[in-house]
Amino acid sequence: MPRTLILSDLHLGFPDVPCGRPLRTAEALAPLLESADHLILNGDTAEIHHILHKEQAARLLDATLDLVARTGISVTRINGNHDFDLAQPNFVDLFGGEILVTHGHAFSDSMLPWTPAHKVMTRTLLAARERNEKTLEGFLAAAGEASLAQWNEPATYREPTALVSIGLHPMRVAKVLTWWRKFPRDAARFVDRFRPDAKFVICGHSHRAGTWMVGATSTGIPRHIINTGSFTFPSSPRAVLIDDSPTELSVEIRAIRHRGGRYMLASRVEASCWRIQRPASAAR
């Protein structure tokens, strides 16, 4: 049975290792790949634009992709705001459009409202949306432009670590919490507009792992919003596993544990397991 593993926000090359977690190296991540046939890296995989960390990020990313190639697993890298690359896709539609996988930085007008680069990113985002087509592709391309604007902003590189930043600017906590609260509904509205047939949205970006059923949107169709969190502060990472059989799709959320310097999937489904029944005519 083909199995797709979806991870987000590895931030390879970024030096923080919160809460005693192992360094994010290819060897440390290897156990996550053991039961996968296809890997989707859903944005912010590596700090390829950060002038202080991009060399280390490139080495770690190359080593990780080399490991994936040696295991025979196919891989798709989706753009995030830390690793935007025109050669990479901004989203993936899975299983006839029933599942949308995208990083999540295009869901609202405010990609990172508490950061020093917030104003320049927002100006760039809104201007790019005006120029681009009002489509999923156009909105995600605009988010890519705004992402690059972040790395052209000198204030980005003067920002201290997250914990120090909170201590220096305690009001940022309120901004983050407000943004977290809005994020699932922003995601549902985004999908209502651009992928109204999608039942699931799998994203990252906010560093807040969780699952939400959001209803009462413009189409009236409830959406499963699944956020896999981050390998960095302040979240604990999650993985999405999608098993594809002739009769159904199963979508599971698993916690990611660390033991002996390595990351691995929890054996138990963390919270929920959804099943999408295939019509008889679609059975393979």
At 284 the pLDDT is: 47
Has residue 95 got a pLDDT over 50?
Answer: yes
Q: In which band, very low, low, confident or very high, does the pLDDT at 90 lie, cut at 50, 70 and 90?
A: very high
For residue 72, the number of C-alpha atoms closer than 13 Å in the C-beta half-sphere is: 3
* Residues 160, 123: Cα–Cα separation, whole Å: 24
Q: In which band, very low, low, confident or very high, does the pLDDT at 65 lie, cut at 50, 70 and 90?
A: very high
Pick the residue with more confidence: 159 or 256? 256
- Residue 212 per-residue DSSP state: E
At 279 the pLDDT is: 65
Pick the residue with more confidence: 267 or 125? 125
Q: Report helix, strand or coil for 258.
A: strand
Please give the average per-residue pLDDT across 100-113, as a whole number: 94
Rounded percentage of the chain residues whose pLDDT exceeds 90:
66
Please give the average per-residue pLDDT across 44-70, as a whole number: 96
At 167 the pLDDT is: 54
Task: Output the average pLDDT for the chain.
Answer: 89
Tokens found for residue 99: 């599942």
Has residue 1 got a pLDDT over 60?
Answer: no
- Residue 272 per-residue DSSP state: -
Q: Nearest 5°: phi and psi at 111?
A: -75, -40
Please give the average per-residue pLDDT across 173-195, as a whole number: 92
Pick the residue with more confidence: 267 or 186? 186
* Residues 117, 72: Cα–Cα separation, whole Å: 40
Amino acid at 185: R
Geometric angle at alpha carbon 45, from 40 and 47, rounded to 5°: 165
Has residue 80 got a pLDDT over 70?
Answer: yes
At 157 the pLDDT is: 79
Has residue 104 got a pLDDT over 50?
Answer: yes
At 192 the pLDDT is: 93
Q: Report helix, strand or coil for 235.
A: coil
Q: Which residues pair with 40 in a beta bridge?
A: 6, 76
- Cβ contact 150:121 at 8 Å: yes
Q: In which band, very low, low, confident or very high, does the pLDDT at 237 lie, cut at 50, 70 and 90?
A: very high
Rounded percentage of the chain residues whose pLDDT exceeds 70:
90
Lowest mean pLDDT among 18-22, 133-137, 196-200: 18-22
Amino acid at 179: W
DSSP-assigned letters across all residues of 28-95: HHGGGGTT-SEEEEES--B-TT-TTTHHHHHHHHHHHHHHHHHHT-EEEEE--SSS--TTS-SEEEET
List pLDDT tens digits, range 258-278.
Answer: 999 999 999 888 766 677 776
Q: In which band, very low, low, confident or very high, does the pLDDT at 30 lie, cut at 50, 70 and 90?
A: very high
Closest CA to 254 of 228, 223, 225: 228
Residues in contact with 32: Cβ distance below 8 Å, sequence separation at least 6, in sequence order:
5, 7, 239, 256, 263, 264, 265
Has residue 45 got a pLDDT over 60?
Answer: yes
Q: Which residue spans within 119-247 are E strands per DSSP?
A: 200-203, 210-214, 223-227, 238-244
At 162 the pLDDT is: 58
Q: In which band, very low, low, confident or very high, does the pLDDT at 249 lie, cut at 50, 70 and 90?
A: confident
At 281 the pLDDT is: 54
